[in-house]
Amino acid sequence: MTPKPSNQTQKPLARITILSAVLFFMAAALFPAQSTAGEKKSKNSPAVQVDDAVSDELSYLLQIASLPKTEQAAFDPGAVENLLNFVLSDKKEALYHTGKKKFSNQASAYHEFDMGRGMERLLKLSYHPDIPGFSLAPTSMRVSRWIEEDGSRERMTGIWKHLDGLDRPVILRGTERIVNTPDQFSGGYYAYNLNRTVILFKHRGRNVLISLSRQPHVSDVGRMGVVLGPDENWDYLYSGKKGLTRAGLEWVRSYMYDSSAAAIVYETSPGRCRHALFKWLRAGWLRANVVKKKHIYQGLKRYAGAFKKIVESPFLPDAPELAAAFSEIRSLSENALKEKARVYLTHLEKKYSHDKKAARQLSRFLKDRDAYLAQMTKEEMRSILVVEHMKKALRRTPVAAAHGLTY
């Protein structure tokens, strides 16, 4: 007769089973199955691991991105030939990834898109010191700024000037502070630093930009946010409260443990560029990773869709005009920012008064308007005005303007 397991054996097994069930529930809640046409397409597409030669060259780039700031970075364009050939190649519909073995066991994904804009215009928009990066990626970032204390902002200024006489690679390094937008399903948003390495060089006579990022430390704890209405509205609410907004997960203390990215922008012809994005991510709860390839892929598409629409818009002002508008916002006093933020929140509630789900979340987090405004930083209030200005510039409808007001 087989002896029954002791209670001492059963209890650890029970704990493991319960923990596994909780983690499975979290993964499903944080990253549930999607249903839009684009997401169905990615779900049904086969997963294809890129060639080892491409993975090796990506690993080489991330090693450069991981160098201490005190160490001089060197780059050999010949060391990424297979990677650039992959970027330029025609590809079948698939969910491309790098595998985990060479990348700290992180899930990964790849996405590419073509744009009818040349390298110089992209650099002037993306690396102007007075144009915040989130203005071009409002569905992905709430706040983004170069850390001024270590000189990052100054180093990145005027990178487009290197395009003339680019006879050798130009390498610039800095640190950026990011607060992302709420996840569309869990509502979680995170603040973290990224060490960035930007490489500008020629390949077969064409301009190429490689932008690398490594997350040096675990993110701040995830906080509760809300996507109001369709994501393309660019309307978000940030509670400042720890946890996840999704029902049943308010107690969860989630983190982005590690992330890296390699973005390649290749000027395929005058006035046209191909953007290729590789991203690796490990995030979850209790050090357990719940991120899968498809989640990263969907995040890349979320970013790319907004960025492409903005930069290709015929209504987008030139960089100097945008910079002047954002400098004016930056000069506002805290009291002026707070008053404009108050107007924004009032009309945000009016805009979504007939959307039961959004109205419920707005009522939940804006119950004490003064307390909500008091916990907002100047940077967070400026970000509202920047995004609203972008809506106006692109002939979209700003929140307050929809109700007869302007900022």
**Residue 90, both tokens:** 């025609």
Residue 36 shares a structural domain with residue 118? yes
Q: Is residue 42 part of a domain?
A: yes
Which residues is 212 bridged to in the sheet?
Answer: 197, 262
Q: Is residue 114 part of a domain?
A: yes
Residue 302 shares a structural domain with residue 360? no
* CA–centroid distance for 108 within its chain: 14
**Residue 222, both tokens:** 């995830």
Could you give the number of structural domains in the chain? 2
Q: Is residue 4 part of a domain?
A: no
* Residue 202 predicted with pLDDT over 60: yes
- Domain finish residue from 312, 343, 367: 312
Dihedral, CA of residue 327, residue 331, residue 336 and residue 340, to nearest 10? 10
Residue 186 shares a structural domain with residue 274? yes
Residue 253 shares a structural domain with residue 331? no
**Residue 61, both tokens:** 């780039």
Domain interval for residue 160: 25-312
Residue 252 shares a structural domain with residue 289? yes
pLDDT band at 22 (very low <50, low <70, confident <90, very high): very low
Which residues is 172 bridged to in the sheet?
Answer: 198
Residue 391 shares a structural domain with residue 274? no
Residue 366 shares a structural domain with residue 219? no
pLDDT band at 70 (very low <50, low <70, confident <90, very high): confident
Report percent pLDDT > 70 for the chain: 86
In whole angstroms, give the CA distance from residue 73 to residue 64.
6
Q: Is residue 260 part of a domain?
A: yes
Residue 68 shares a structural domain with residue 140? yes
Residue 45 shares a structural domain with residue 89? yes
Residue 210 shares a structural domain with residue 303? yes
In whole angstroms, give the CA distance from residue 97 to residue 48.
6
CATH number at residue 112: 3.30.530.20
In whole angstroms, give the CA distance from residue 255 to residue 189.
9
Nearest CA to 280 among 264, 266, 293, 298? 293
Residue 229 shares a structural domain with residue 322? no
- Domain finish residue from 247, 278, 312: 312
Q: Is residue 8 part of a domain?
A: no
Q: What is the mean pLDDT of residues 258-263?
A: 97
Q: Is residue 103 part of a domain?
A: yes
Which residues is 275 bridged to in the sheet?
Answer: 113, 265
- The secondary structure of residue 315, as a DSSP letter, is T
pLDDT digits (tens, 9 = 90+) for 344-382: 999 999 999 999 999 999 999 999 999 999 999 999 999
pLDDT of residue 206: 97
Average pLDDT, rounded, for the chain: 88
- Domain finish residue from 312, 343, 369: 312
Q: What is the mean pLDDT of residues 127-138?
A: 95
pLDDT digits (tens, 9 = 90+) for 136-182: 999 999 999 988 656 666 777 789 999 998 999 999 999 999 999 99
pLDDT band at 104 (very low <50, low <70, confident <90, very high): confident
Q: Is residue 18 part of a domain?
A: no
pTM here is 0.87
Residue 174: its H or E element: strand 170-180
The residue type of 100 is: K
pLDDT of residue 130: 93
Q: Is residue 172 part of a domain?
A: yes
* CA–centroid distance for 34 within its chain: 19
* Residue 406 predicted with pLDDT over 60: no
pLDDT band at 399 (very low <50, low <70, confident <90, very high): confident
Residue 296 shares a structural domain with residue 376? no
